[in-house]
Structure 1
Amino acid sequence: MGMRRVKLNRHPYLKVGLSIVMIGTILLIFGIAQMANGKDEAPGPALLSVDGIPVDQEEFELFLQDEKAATASYFARQHGAEYGGDFWGTAYGDEVPIEVARSNALDKLVRIKAEQQLAAGYLLIKSAEFQDVQQAMRKAEKSIYGAESLSPLQEYMLFHSKLVLEAKNQYKAKLKAVPEEVLLERYEANRQLFQAPDELTAWQVSWTGDNTEEEQSAAYELAEDIQKGISADQLLPKYKRLHSLRIQEKQYGKQEGKDENSSDLGMMLKEQAYQLSPNQTSEVMSYGNQHFVVLCIERSRGEGGTLDEVKLLIEDAVKEERFEQQIDQAVSQAAIVKNEAMWNELQMK
Structure 2
Amino acid sequence: MKKQALRPNSANATAKTKANKAGRNAEKASRREAARQPHRKRRIYIWPGVAAVLLALILGLVAWRSPGGSPNPSDVIARVDGEPVSYGEFAHELTANRAVVIGYFKDKYGTEFSPDFWTTAVGGELPLDRVKRLALDASVRRKVQQIEARKHGLTADISYRTLLRTMKETNADREAKVKRNEVVYGPVTFDEQRFIDDSGQRLFQALRDELQPGFAITDAEISAYYEANKTQFELGDSRTIRAIEVVFADEQDRKQAIGSARSKLNDILAQLDGGAKFADVYDRLSADSASGLSVSERVYDYKTPRTESINHPVLMAAINKLAAGQTSGLVEDGLSIGIYACVDKSGIAAIPLNEAEPQIKKDLASTAYNRFVDELQRKAQVEIDDRNMAKVEMQ
**Shorter-chain-normalised TM-score: which range?**
0.5 to 0.7
1:150 to 165, 190, 194: 190
Aligned runs of 1:109-120 on 2, under 5 Å? 109-120=139-150
Check 1:280–1:166 CA distance in 2 against 1; reply closer, same or farther (3 A cut): same
Check 1:86–1:306 CA distance in 2 against 1; reply closer, same or farther (3 A cut): closer
Per-residue deviation at 1:109?
A: 1.8
Looking at structure 2, the residues matched to 261 and 54 of structure 1 have their Cα atoms a distance apart, in angstroms, of: 49
Per-residue deviation at 1:338?
A: 1.2
Per-residue deviation at 1:341?
A: 2.4
Aligned runs of 1:1-349 on 2, under 5 Å? 45-138=75-168, 140-141=170-171, 149-172=189-212, 174-175=213-214, 178-183=217-222, 186=225, 194=233, 196-200=235-239, 252-253=300-301, 256-262=304-310, 269=317, 273=321, 298-302=344-348, 307-349=353-395
Letter of the 1:347 counterpart: E
Secondary structure, aligned partner of 1:200? strand
Secondary structure, aligned partner of 1:47? strand
Greater mean alpha carbon deviation, residues 48-57 or residues 190-199: 190-199
Per-residue deviation at 1:322?
A: 1.7
Q: Radius of gyration: which is bigger?
A: 2
Task: State whether residues 78 and 385 of structure 2, in contact with CA within 8 Å, keep that contact through their aligned partners in structure 1.
Answer: yes
Per-residue deviation at 1:319?
A: 2.5
Task: State whether residues 279 and 298 of structure 1, in contact with CA within 8 Å, keep that contact through their aligned partners in structure 2.
Answer: yes
Task: State whether residues 85 and 143 of structure 2, in contact with CA within 8 Å, keep that contact through their aligned partners in structure 1.
Answer: no
Per-residue deviation at 1:347?
A: 0.3
Looking at structure 2, the residues matched to 179 and 167 of structure 1 have their Cα atoms a distance apart, in angstroms, of: 21
Task: State whether residues 222 and 361 of structure 2, in contact with CA within 8 Å, keep that contact through their aligned partners in structure 1.
Answer: yes
Looking at structure 1, the residues matched to 165 and 144 of structure 2 have their Cα atoms a distance apart, in angstroms, of: 19
The CA deviation string for residues 150-191 of structure 1, in whole angstroms up to 9 with x for no partner, is 32111111111111122222222x437744554455556656
Q: TM-score, normalised by structure 1?
A: 0.58
Per-residue deviation at 1:149?
A: 3.6
The residue that corresponds to 2:331 in the other structure is none
Task: State whether residues 119 and 167 of structure 1, in contact with CA within 8 Å, keep that contact through their aligned partners in structure 2.
Answer: yes
Check 1:200–1:114 CA distance in 2 against 1; reply closer, same or farther (3 A cut): farther
Q: Which runs of 5+ in 1 are unaligned?
A: 1-41, 204-221, 235-248, 282-294
Per-residue deviation at 1:82?
A: 3.5
Looking at structure 2, the residues matched to 226 and 86 of structure 1 have their Cα atoms a distance apart, in angstroms, of: 75
Looking at structure 1, the residues matched to 380 and 317 of structure 2 have their Cα atoms a distance apart, in angstroms, of: 48
The CA deviation string for residues 283-335 of structure 1, in whole angstroms up to 9 with x for no partner, is xxxxxxxxxxxx98742133765555444443333323222221122223333
Secondary structure, aligned partner of 1:299? strand
Percent sequence identity over matched residues?
22
Per-residue deviation at 1:93?
A: 1.5
Task: State whether residues 89 and 160 of structure 2, in contact with CA within 8 Å, keep that contact through their aligned partners in structure 1.
Answer: yes
Check 1:331–1:255 CA distance in 2 against 1; reply closer, same or farther (3 A cut): closer
Looking at structure 1, the residues matched to 274 and 202 of structure 2 have their Cα atoms a distance apart, in angstroms, of: 51
The residue that corresponds to 1:22 in the other structure is none
Q: Which runs of 5+ in 2 are unaligned?
A: 1-71, 176-185, 243-269, 283-296, 328-340
Check 1:75–1:124 CA distance in 2 against 1; reply closer, same or farther (3 A cut): same
Looking at structure 2, the residues matched to 339 and 86 of structure 1 have their Cα atoms a distance apart, in angstroms, of: 25
Task: State whether residues 261 and 270 of structure 1, in contact with CA within 8 Å, keep that contact through their aligned partners in structure 2.
Answer: no
The CA deviation string for residues 24-65 of structure 1, in whole angstroms up to 9 with x for no partner, is xxxxxxxxxxxxxxxxxx996521122322112222122223
Task: State whether residues 74 and 160 of structure 2, in contact with CA within 8 Å, keep that contact through their aligned partners in structure 1.
Answer: no
Instruction: Tell me the C-alpha RMSD between the 2 structures.
Output: 4.6
Check 1:62–1:70 CA distance in 2 against 1; reply closer, same or farther (3 A cut): same
Check 1:157–1:299 CA distance in 2 against 1; reply closer, same or farther (3 A cut): same
Check 1:72–1:188 CA distance in 2 against 1; reply closer, same or farther (3 A cut): closer
Secondary structure, aligned partner of 2:118? coil
Per-residue deviation at 1:346?
A: 0.7
Task: State whether residues 77 and 84 of structure 2, in contact with CA within 8 Å, keep that contact through their aligned partners in structure 1.
Answer: yes
Check 1:180–1:61 CA distance in 2 against 1; reply closer, same or farther (3 A cut): closer
Task: State whether residues 194 and 304 of structure 1, in contact with CA within 8 Å, keep that contact through their aligned partners in structure 2.
Answer: yes
Looking at structure 2, the residues matched to 307 and 301 of structure 1 have their Cα atoms a distance apart, in angstroms, of: 17
Letter of the 2:141 counterpart: R
Looking at structure 2, the residues matched to 321 and 169 of structure 1 have their Cα atoms a distance apart, in angstroms, of: 13
Looking at structure 2, the residues matched to 81 and 304 of structure 1 have their Cα atoms a distance apart, in angstroms, of: 45
Letter of the 1:80 counterpart: G
Looking at structure 1, the residues matched to 78 and 315 of structure 2 have their Cα atoms a distance apart, in angstroms, of: 48
Check 1:277–1:91 CA distance in 2 against 1; reply closer, same or farther (3 A cut): farther
Task: State whether residues 202 and 298 of structure 1, in contact with CA within 8 Å, keep that contact through their aligned partners in structure 2.
Answer: yes
Secondary structure, aligned partner of 2:345? strand
Task: State whether residues 237 and 345 of structure 2, in contact with CA within 8 Å, keep that contact through their aligned partners in structure 1.
Answer: yes
